[in-house]
Amino acid sequence: METLVQQQRKLSLKNACVEFMFAYQQRNVDKMLSFCDEKGTVDFQSLGEAGKGKIYELGKGIWSALIDCFPDIDNTLDAAVAEDEETVRCQVVIRGTQKKDFADIPNKGLRFDRDHIFIFHLNDKNKIDDIRISWNHEDFKRQLGS
Amino acid sequence: MSKLRVYSFPMIYQKFHPCKILEPFIECYFVWQSGDQPVIDLVVESPPNGFCSIVFNAGDLYFLQNKKYDKLEVPVAFVSGQSIYSYKLFLNGNISIAGIVFKPAGLATIYDLPIHEYTEERIDLKNLFPHSLVDKYSSTLATEQEPKQKAQVLEDFVMKQFEAAKPEPDYIDHAANLIVEKNGLLHVNELMETVYMSRRNFERRFLKKVGLSPKYYARIRRISYLTNMIAGKKKVDWAKIFSECEYYDQSHFIKDFLEFTGRTPQQYLEENKELVHLVDKPKEQPLD
């Protein structure tokens, strides 16, 4: 049986992830990063090798670009489930209207609305030290007319 | 794989309706007891139903299995948050389980708990309440023999907090209860018509009180309604059911069904081990 301490730990680590998603909703990248370890890693899995890097470098760059190119970007957190004592899985719907070219996707003024899975790993200080994000990139591009 | 056993002795599963004042927060109380013999290798499963609960087990320990846990020993007294996956219970010996089933936001409103933290968790009540209080009610429930008396003990447990906190249902309670009332067959925009706040703010508050987003919660309630419709049946008209549940196409229906139950509709019909196979579908009884 899980101990009371283990259960308490699982409850508290969900909060950092939920607050991270709320900061994303506010389009506040600095606030998002404040929940992360400076040496943390990120993997935007649907982008392959190009999607792997540091949260404070690649993560900051991609989220800033997304907010710039999709100024009304918004998300809905459907559910946050602790997979173990260090990992939380967040099911999120992200949506937004394109206003600028984003990476290889030219701006056609279209809107996307897609399910995303964020898997957060937290260290013993409750800081996010790894994020894996997956989504259907082909459908994302299709919605944007690319 | 364990097969469903057929028990010749009566297994008791009864539901009781709360008093008027607790109706906005409590769906029902339930009491589940094995009959005059212990059960052997009993497996009972449940799809997500959209309700949180507080459960006391005065019988033998049992185990839970779902997408997340292979075999979790369930605490003796616990809070159960929203489920998003089907789960199975593995029971042996004496069953004596009693619980409070809350309306979707009821647990948060009465106890001021951040319910989004409890999704897919069974949290020991001793993490949330004084040990002496949990021990007192566990012991009283173990002593009481009659289901109705047990339900009254459960009502007393909630009433103590209700009288201390005097909570009022808010717009999140109303919106979530409306989703239940409509079996998930409504659009989030309909909910927004009666709440005077931004969609973002509404969704955040809903997540914190119900444990899930409104849209996701409505999807779970629809699956719960659907599985309830087919519970105990051997053959169903799927086309009629997916139309009644307002799925716009068959693939959407199957995708949702797979996501929440882990099986296709036909597999579910053939293999499910819901409690309804072992007991008569309970009618809710009044407590007084």
- DSSP conformation letters of B109-124: HHH---GGGGTT-EEE
Mean pLDDT of B250-279: 80
Q: How confident is the model at residue B55 (pLDDT cuts 50, 70, 90)?
A: very high
Which tops the pLDDT comparison, A26 or B195? A26
Q: Which CATH architecture does the domain made up of B1-288 adopt?
A: Orthogonal Bundle (1.10)
Query: Is A19 buried (19+), middle (13-18) or exposed (0-12) by CB count in 10 A?
Result: middle
Q: What is the percent of chain B with per-residue pLDDT over 90, rounded to a whole number?
A: 59
User: What's the pLDDT tens digit per position in B233-246?
Assistant: 778 888 888 788 88
Q: What is the pLDDT of residue A92?
A: 97
- Kindly identify which residue of chain A lies nearest to residue B82, measuring between CA atoms: A79
Contact (CB, 8 A) for B251 and B221: no
Confidence (pTM): 0.91
Residue B2 clears pLDDT 60, i.e. is over it: no
Mean pLDDT of B93-97: 94
Q: What is the pLDDT of residue A43?
A: 98
Phi-psi label, residue A126: left if phi above 0, alpha if psi -120 to 50, beta otherwise = left
Query: Where would I find the beta strands (DSSP E) of chain B?
Result: 12-17, 26-33, 39-46, 53-57, 63-66, 72-73, 77-80, 87-93, 96-102, 122-124, 284-286
Mean pLDDT of B85-99: 93
Q: How confident is the model at residue B6 (pLDDT cuts 50, 70, 90)?
A: very low
**Interface touch B116/A81, C-beta < 8 Å:** no
Query: How many angstroms separate the CA atoms of A133 and A123, rounded?
Result: 18
User: What's the pLDDT tens digit per position in B154-165?
Assistant: 999 999 999 999
Tokens of B10: 């009566």
Overall fold of domain A4-143: Nuclear Transport Factor 2; Chain: A, (3.10.450)
Chain A environment of B201 (Cβ under 8 Å): none
**d(CA B219, nearest CA chain A) in Å:** 11
Mutation target vs A (from B64, B69, B121; most A CBs, 10 A cutoff):
B121
Facing residue for B213 by CB, picked from A7, A10, A77: A77
Neighbours of B39 (CB within 10 A): 22
Mean pLDDT of A78-98: 94
Mean pLDDT of B193-210: 90
Q: What is the pLDDT of residue B5?
A: 46
**Interface touch A83/B68, C-beta < 8 Å:** yes
Within 8 A by CB and 6+ apart from A106, the residues are A146
Mean of per-residue pLDDT scores for chain B: 89
Q: How confident is the model at residue B275 (pLDDT cuts 50, 70, 90)?
A: low
Query: How many angstroms separate the CA atoms of B74 and B57, rounded?
Result: 9
Tokens 């995303």 sit on residue:
A116
Angstrom CA distances, B275 to A10, A59, B16, B75, stand at 30, 47, 17, 21
Residue B3 clears pLDDT 70, i.e. is over it: no
Residue B272 clears pLDDT 80, i.e. is over it: no
Neighbours of A104 (CB within 10 A): 7
Greatest mean pLDDT among A58-67, B85-94, B185-194: A58-67
Q: What is the pLDDT of residue B92?
A: 93
Q: Which helix (H) or strand (E) holds B217?
A: helix B214-230
Residue B179 clears pLDDT 70, i.e. is over it: yes
Q: What is the pLDDT of residue B12?
A: 87
Phi-psi label, residue A145: left if phi above 0, alpha if psi -120 to 50, beta otherwise = left
Mean pLDDT of B6-35: 87
